[in-house]
């Protein structure tokens, strides 16, 4: 499949899948979060915030969108339900993959997801902070490069953007380790995503 060409692996590769409250949320509009460990950090919080109004599932992975296994893994996740809305992110992994390859594959995934849901929203990548033990500033700068590439892809595809970077930028006190966030940081993200979902008018 065009765009899914890389086989670069990190030292640890992982996938996290959560189908929340399948019995109690039956018949409710269903939302899928797609991302990485940031989704793991707040996905269940968002479910709790929207419980009784929406079903919220998540798919999180360390794979970059250009990985040849990314879409097969995601297809497994999406095989169980149709989703009225998808909030999608990818970009904080695959450091050895060229940004141009990332952008090409991102466009291919966006095209596929737009065929799978009536409401696709891009959530850009959250900021990284310098931290003891994480003195390498590579991601603090590169995340901005990837966000800019993604913004161009979304503009071309007509996909709205939830600006999580701006939401959490300049607030290192909300970061737990330079990459992930405290409960207070994730709560801000949950509130923004909940507002976004409520504004979609799902039924």
In a domain, 5, yes or no: no
Give me the number of domains the chain comprises: 1
Indicate whether 123 pLDDT > 60. Answer: yes
Question: pLDDT confidence of 2, banded at 50, 70, 90?
Answer: low
In a domain, 10, yes or no: no
In a domain, 147, yes or no: yes
Indicate whether 203 pLDDT > 90. Answer: no
Indicate whether 142 pLDDT > 70. Answer: yes
In a domain, 63, yes or no: yes
pLDDT for 84-116, tens place per residue? 999 999 999 999 999 999 999 999 999 999 999
The answer to whether 107 and 118 are in contact (CB under 8 A) is no
The confidence score (pLDDT) of residue 1 equals 45
Dihedral Cα 81, 46, 39, 129, nearest 10 deg: 160
In a domain, 68, yes or no: yes
In a domain, 7, yes or no: no
Indicate whether 154 pLDDT > 90. Answer: yes
Task: Find tokens 């450091």 and name the residue.
Answer: 95
The answer to whether 86 and 117 are in contact (CB under 8 A) is yes
DSSP string, 14-35: -EEEE---TTTTTTS-EEEEEE
Contacts of 178 (CB under 8 A, 6+ apart): 128, 129, 130, 131, 134
CATH of the domain at 110: 3.40.50.1110
Question: pLDDT confidence of 135, banded at 50, 70, 90?
Answer: low
Q: CA 7, CA 108: separation in Å to the nearest integer?
A: 17
* pTM for this entry: 0.94
Contacts of 24 (CB under 8 A, 6+ apart): none
Other CB atoms within 10 A of residue 35 CB:
25
List the domain range (segments joined by +) for residue 162: 15-198
Query: Nearest-CA neighbor of 46 among 162, 196, 174, 160?
Result: 196
In a domain, 158, yes or no: yes
In a domain, 171, yes or no: yes
Indicate whether 40 pLDDT > 80. Answer: yes
């Amino acid at each position: 499949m065009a765009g899914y060409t890389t086989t670069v692996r990190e030292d640890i590769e992982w996938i996290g899948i959560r189908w929340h409250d399948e019995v109690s949320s039956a018949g409710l509009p269903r939302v899928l979060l797609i991302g990485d460990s940031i989704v793991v950090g707040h996905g269940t919080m968002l479910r709790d915030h929207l419980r009784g109004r929406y079903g919220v599932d998540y798919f999180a992975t360390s794979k970059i969108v250009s990985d040849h296994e990314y879409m097969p893994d995601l297809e497994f996740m999406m095989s169980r339900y149709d989703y009225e809305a998808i909030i999608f992110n990818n970009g904080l992994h695959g450091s050895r993959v060229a940004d141009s390859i990332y952008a090409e594959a991102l466009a291919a995934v966006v095209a596929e997801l737009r065929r799978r849901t009536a409401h696709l929203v891009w959530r850009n990548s959250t900021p990284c902070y310098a931290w003891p033990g994480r003195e390498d500033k590579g991601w603090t700068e590169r995340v901005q490069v990837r966000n800019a590439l993604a913004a161009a892809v979304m503009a071309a595809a007509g996909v709205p953007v939830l600006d999580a970077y701006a939401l959490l930028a300049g607030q290192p006190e909300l970061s737990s380790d330079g990459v992930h966030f405290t409960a207070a940081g994730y709560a801000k993200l949950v509130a923004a995503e909940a507002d976004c979902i409520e504004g979609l008018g799902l039924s």
